[in-house]
Amino acid sequence: MRRVGTLEEISDGQLYGPGDLVRVGCRDCEGCSACCHGMEALILDPLDIFRLTTGLGRPFEDFLEKEIELIIADQMIVPKMRMAEGEQACAFLNKEGRCSIHGIRPGICRLFPLGRYYHDGDFSYILQVNECVRKNRYKMKVSQWVEEEEPEKNRNFINTWHDLCKRVEAAVPELGDAERKQMLVGILKLFYQQPYRPGDFYGQFEERMRIAEKEIKKYHFGTTELPASSCLEVTCGK
């Protein structure tokens, strides 16, 4: 989820790249699942849904029964992780308090306690200073912590999706009710509900982006000017 603010408010004030060392190491979170409790809005992106549906062999609608729910966030209809009823804990935590989907966990979970700072059409990583409860963390490379097998493709995806979300967010207030509903439901179906094939996610995402670009021209906001301020995307809800 995005926040608009200053680096000094939530981070150590530094910007990091994939090859930089940052103090995030915590021995695989041994004995701790604090960041998996009390999350208000852990938003899922299309890559997260691809990993869950293809990794667990379940359709998107199946997850809506227990682990995921749809909300309106930043003017879009998006899925978020659901808290287990009565526990305020991620529905994917097992009885031992460990993540049962660690290998295919969402991107925000991979980041934590890092966040992304968007600027100049790209992003840098930031270290949130008041989120992780573990002490005496040791330094690791950002790329090692995030664990993305195709980092450049992943970076391009993140920037492309972020750009689309910002364009939609800026344009929605200018649309009529019928157009707004048609566009938002269309984006939800195209990027989340339409099944993904196992294999190359990034190629499938590019195919869907080409469809989306054709569709959004109908709403005359393909070149909507984006807000000038930089944007912080961080794990929120603690």
pLDDT in tens, 204-229: 999 999 999 888 777 665 554 444 44
Helix, strand, coil distribution of the chain in percent, nearest 5? 40, 20, 40
Identify residue 59 by its one-letter amino acid code: P
What's residue 174's pLDDT?
86
How far apart CA 16 and CA 128 sit, in angstroms, is 12
- Strands 138-141, 231-233: pairing is unpaired
Is the dihedral angle over the CA atoms 46, 49, 55, 59 positive or is it negative? Answer: negative
Report how far apart the first and last C-alpha atoms of the chain are (Å, whole number). Answer: 12
CA-wise closest residue to 14 among 139, 133, 146, 108: 139
What's residue 237's pLDDT?
35
φ, ψ (nearest 5 deg) of residue 221: -130, 20
pLDDT in tens, 87-144: 678 889 888 888 999 999 999 999 999 999 998 889 999 998 887 877 888 899 999 9
pLDDT in tens, 132-179: 877 888 899 999 999 999 999 999 999 999 999 998 988 888 889 998
Identify residue 178 by its one-letter amino acid code: A
